[in-house]
Structure 1
Amino acid sequence: MSFAGQLINWRRELHQHPELSLQEFETTRRIRHWLESAGLRLLPLTLPTGVVAEVGSGEKVVALRADIDALPIDEAVDVPFASRNPGVMHACGHDVHTSVMLGAALLLKEKEPQLAGRVRILFQPAEENFGGAKRLIQAGALDEVNAIFGMHNEPGLPVGTFATRSGAFYANVDRFSLKVTGKGAHAARPHEGNDAVLLASQLVVALQSIASRNINTLESVVLSVTRIQGGNTWNVLPEAVELEGTLRTHQITVRDQVKRRVNDIAAGLAQAFDAEIAVRWFEGPAALVNHDRWATFARDVADWHGYRTEEADLHMGGEDFAVYLHHIPGAFVSIGSNSEYGLHHPAFNPDEQLIEGAARYFALLAEKALLQH
């Protein structure tokens, strides 16, 4: 079987057996088996799921990272290797990322005697719930690592296209919840209560003014209310309404300014309506910020490799790889996957032809990065 065919077969096997964050036990077993069969050494880290392999020797260490978890989505792609796990799908392409880094590991193993150091390949669990990077770091996966590189497939780019950027790339991901508490009443006698639905509606509208009226329009910021829940029948005003949403920015100062403004608006409306509004914030990863040197280097290697290179647009989505870049330098890149449907869509279907080229690129990137220290 050809090298490309092997990687595609691995991708399809992973695609048929997707597992959610922190449940990637069979995925981990498969990756371990494939790596060990190829003679890769595995680091003895304490990880319930996920694998860290290493090739080469010496003091210099460069890391490559793939993510291995799937999403709670019913697949809508008519392919022979569709998910066999109902309600779970590799709708973000982590099966592709894993096969790419498996391929890079095999290529690096072939060149092991010539490597100017060690390459560590991280197969990270739980990217989708933004917890996997911290787990790997706590287990020691970044110990001695000098630089780290990772990828995400980009459905909006053709196969053979590469994109990255220096500085901020992906956004921070914060979740917020607001509980509006008024006083319930019969819908025919609203004056006897304190309408939490009305206050929640005012709150949603007021929150949308933050990005348009409180933040410089040249800054990137998205604040979305994504869930409203209250009441259980048509003729009763509920006592409480819950709202939930997300905040995305690329700058810490903007992030802090928006959060203060949300808190101020909630406090002001609560006072005006003689009600209570409780605000809770759940911080996800901060913005992913590429290091200038390594982003430029990654793009130079992509040019040499034969990719069509572009300057990547800012992403408002989040990426757990950001956590690594807060500890060590490195760069995150996009590789074109040419899917009609985007990430997290039930019909997402990346072009598998990207896999071999990306595997060869990352093997070359790691090899050359070892020579840069």
Structure 2
Amino acid sequence: MRTVSAYAAPSATEPLIATTIERRDVGPNDVLIDIKFAGICHSDIHTVRGEWGGQQFPLTPGHEIAGIVAEVGSNVTKHTVGDRVGVGCLVNSCGECTSCLAGLEQHCLNGNVGTYGAVDRDGTITQGGYSSHVVVNENFVLNIPEGIDLDVAAPLLCAGITTYSPLRHWGVGPGTRVAIVGLGGLGHMGVKIASALGAEVTVLSQTLNKKEDGLKLGADHYYATGDPETFTKLAGSFDFILNTVSAAIDINAYLRLLAIDGVMVNVGAPAEPLPVNAFSLIGGRRSFAGSNIGGIAETQEMLNFCAEHGFGAEIEVISADQINEAYERVLRSDVRYRFVIDTATLPAVGA
């Protein structure tokens, strides 16, 4: 075991604090990563505050990890010391079920292992990327292509794949009329990726405050959902709607914006239920679906896609001692558009 510096939540009701955590020794199939940057995802806040169920504390969150390979195990063939790499929301799965064999590790039938707050195969509780180092099985380590800086690459490991996967799965491309609901950490990546795929992109946000940003990110149109006329004007306008909002919204109002055979996909994960009226689906043969992250191969595909199109996330880099402030700002939607922790600012072990 090795001791590394980290930030952790002592409980669901206390601020995160500087601490140390233990990482396992590098095994034959493991990669030790010197973490350089870690993104802050809204999921981190939901998890450490117990909004998605109870957790074992202390807990170090973070599943948007970018860094450099510092050591590899004797059997590792996919990565070498010095490689630029990332780790997303998964660090293990059974590797044997039909989902894993199909490259859908996020849907592992025997239970995948999340990057933090999950029970790993050895029975330990995983700890995430708000730390200086992490040890991960090589099969769950992604290569970050040249052309994407590590700081803007970190949020791609969750926000990027969470939006890329449904856009690809439902065949978004040239000629597709896409609406992105919410222009936040997820939404801004949805706009970038949908635009790069060749779709006609509309942002649906509560106000027009971020309209200039949305158009710069690649949106063709921008409407305020706080204006009731928006829902009248845009009725039946979209082939695909991606809802990135992590709060309860009137799903039925948005479903009516879909064209015949249109699909609305939820990637935001509010704690509250989202009631759906059957007639909102029946009229127009519409579909309401959900999507998680992507598998490892698709996540690598996403990273390569972003590199080919020359973009990463829009970020604000913070020091580790600003994490709690950043959490409150995320809840106020006061970030454009993802906080990223510079892990060089973590207190040294023993300091």
TM-score after normalising by structure 1: 0.26
Q: Which has the higher helix share?
A: 1
TM-score after normalising by structure 2: 0.27
The structure with more radius of gyration: 1
Greater RCO (CA < 8 Å, at least 6 residues apart)? 1
